[in-house]
């Protein structure tokens, strides 16, 4: 059997140890993981015949380094196709919340269950036809914009009152704030904006002075500050909540979370001006971006980076912006050759911004792009 295990900060960790023991007894069980932002001690990877993940995340670094978990190069928008193909699960283990007011289209309180602090690829997994082994997470917000799950396909295997985990924000350093200051004027009033996780994205949302609509994969705490300042247009669109109690409380009852086949759909995103602001582990002189890690360690997967960058470059009036500090851990982030394969190609990068300034690469030939990036880094 292939088992898919729900991801994000609301993952069904309270049953991971039981799942591992059951897999060990059965033998030959394959495990599919999503974004694992924090280690799960209950998951015993040696209990499974094969473990794969769509996006390593911080919680799988050691397991990936040890060879216990494999990660293929997968864009987040391509995960539904995998789940209906070679990764089709027979069982989805997921956290759910009781569906209620604020979740259904008509504002009624239907019976059944919905997803809580993340929807991600789980709707695609459900559509592939598995049984859903559900943990009812009473401490999770009700933020799923979709219809309740078919109760006939759901078996409740547990309950928990624990809230989702917390993504502790990294305090922006002066260089992060300077990057945000340079990027902010590029975002016009009324824009649809995506920001990647990390201090640059948070600093940008807190430095904006014009109202924007947030259309992003991960929704950080800084969105609440944007709303408090009256600069958030409508409810945001996201597939993961990635913050703390304040974000979860604010999101409860709002129709925010959508499946990746909606949030990461290039056609929808590029229909009108769309601004994507993402970072990089390193970028080469051609403008190719690596977000997976260094030569010595895996930090993450491709995720939605390539999706949002491609959508922004093809949107008329939008921009694909790579916002990265010029140095990290004492080393330049501009390198002659990437230490890992390309995550986002150079033709999906419009503007590169560091604390030193910016390079507008639109319309430049490859030699001109190399010259512009070298000048930005002062080499």
User: How does DSSP classify residue 356?
Assistant: T
Cβ atoms of residues 263 and 241 within 8 Å? no
Provide the pLDDT for residue 99: 87
- Taking 90 as the threshold, does the pLDDT of residue 251 lie above it? yes
Tokens coding 318:
């939008």
pLDDT interval class at 214 (50, 70, 90): very high
Mean pLDDT of 116-128: 97
pLDDT > 70: percent of the chain = 97
Average pLDDT over residues 238-242: 97
| pLDDT for the residue 12 | 98
Distance CA 115, CA 113 (A): 7
pLDDT for res 151: 83
- Please give the CATH topology (third level) of the domain spanning 2-160: Glutaconate Coenzyme A-transferase (3.40.1080)
Query: What is the model's pLDDT at position 107?
Result: 35
- pLDDT of residue 109 exceeding 50, the answer is no
Kindly tell me if the per-residue pLDDT of 110 is higher than 80. no
pLDDT value at 207 more than 70? yes
What confidence category does residue 100 fall into, taking pLDDT thresholds of 50, 70 and 90?
low
Domain ranges within the chain, ordered by starting residue = 2-160, 174-243+265-377
DSSP string for residues in 210-245: S-BEEB-SEE-THHHHHHHTT-B-SS-BBSEE-S-H
Cα dist from 193 to 119, 189, 237, 254, 319, whole Å: 20, 10, 10, 19, 10
Q: State mean pLDDT over 266-286.
A: 97
Coil, strand or helix at 167: coil
List, for residues 131-178, the tens digit of each pLDDT value.
999 999 999 999 999 999 988 889 999 999 999 999 988 899 999 999
Residue 3: the pLDDT is: 98
Q: Is 330's pLDDT higher than 50? A: yes
**pLDDT band for position 106 (50/70/90)?**
very low
How would CATH label the architecture of 174-243+265-377?
3-Layer(aba) Sandwich (3.40)
pLDDT the model gives residue 108: 32
How many other C-beta atoms are found inside a 10 Å radius of the C-beta of residue 249? Answer: 12
Distance, CA of 19 to CA of 265 (rounded, Å): 32
Mean pLDDT of the chain: 94
d(CA 150, CA 118): 18
The residue behind tokens 């014009």 is 210
pLDDT in tens, 49-74: 999 999 887 899 999 999 999 999 99
Distance CA 110, CA 119 (A): 18
| 2-160 against 174-243+265-377: fold identical | yes
Please compute the mean of the pLDDT values over residues 300-316 and round it to a whole number: 95
What are the helix (H) ranges across 303-363? 305-314
- Mean pLDDT for 78-91 is 97
User: Which residues have CB under 8 Å from 71's CB, separation 6+?
Assistant: 52, 53, 54, 55, 56, 60, 64, 298, 301
Task: Check pLDDT > 70 for residue 105.
Answer: no
27-36, 51-60, 207-216, 283-292 — which is least confidently predicted? 51-60
Query: Is residue 117's pLDDT more than 50?
Result: yes
**Which position has the higher pLDDT, 100 or 153?**
153
Tell me the pTM.
0.94
């Amino acid at each position: 059997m292939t088992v898919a295990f729900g991801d994000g900060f609301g993952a069904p960790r309270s049953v991971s140890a039981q799942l591992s023991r059951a897999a060990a007894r059965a033998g030959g069980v394959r495990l599919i993981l999503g974004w694992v932002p924090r280690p799960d001690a209950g998951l015993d990877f040696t209990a499974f015949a094969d473990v794969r993940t769509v996006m390593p995340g911080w919680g799988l670094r050691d397991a990936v380094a040890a060879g216990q978990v494999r990660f293929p190069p997968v864009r987040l928008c391509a995960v539904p196709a995998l789940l209906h193909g070679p990764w089709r699960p027979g069982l989805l283990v997921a956290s759910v919340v009781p569906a209620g007011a604020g979740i259904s289209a008509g504002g009624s309180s239907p019976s059944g269950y919905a997803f809580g602090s993340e929807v991600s690829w789980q709707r695609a997994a459900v559509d592939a036809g598995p049984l859903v082994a559900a943990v009812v997470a009473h401490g999770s917000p009700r933020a799923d914009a979709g219809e309740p799950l078919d109760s006939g396909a759901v078996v409740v295997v547990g309950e928990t009152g624990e809230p989702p985990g917390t993504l502790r924000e990294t305090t922006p350093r002066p260089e992060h704030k300077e990057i945000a200051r340079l990027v902010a004027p590029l975002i016009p009033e009324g824009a649809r904006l995506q920001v990647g996780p990390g201090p640059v994205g948070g600093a940008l949302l807190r430095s904006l002075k014009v109202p924007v609509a947030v259309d992003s994969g991960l929704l950080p705490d800084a969105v609440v500050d944007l709303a408090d300042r009256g600069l958030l247009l409508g409810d945001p669109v996201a597939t993961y909540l990635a913050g703390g109690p304040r974000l979860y409380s604010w999101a409860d009852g709002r129709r925010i979370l959508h499946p990746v086949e909606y949030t990461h759909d290039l056609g929808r995103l590029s229909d009108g001006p769309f601004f994507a602001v993402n970072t990089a582990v390193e970028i080469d002189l051609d403008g190719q971006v690596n977000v997976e890690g260094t030569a010595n360690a895996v930090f993450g997967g491709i995720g939605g980076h390539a999706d949002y960058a491609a959508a922004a470059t093809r949107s008329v009036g939008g921009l694909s912006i790579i916002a990265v500090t010029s140095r990290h851990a004492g080393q330049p982030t501009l390198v002659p050759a990437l230490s890992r394969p390309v995550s986002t190609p150079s033709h999906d990068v419009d503007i590169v911004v560091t604390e030193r300034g910016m390079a507008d690469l639109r319309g430049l030939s490859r030699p001109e792009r190399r010259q512009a990036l070298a000048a930005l880094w002062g080499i």
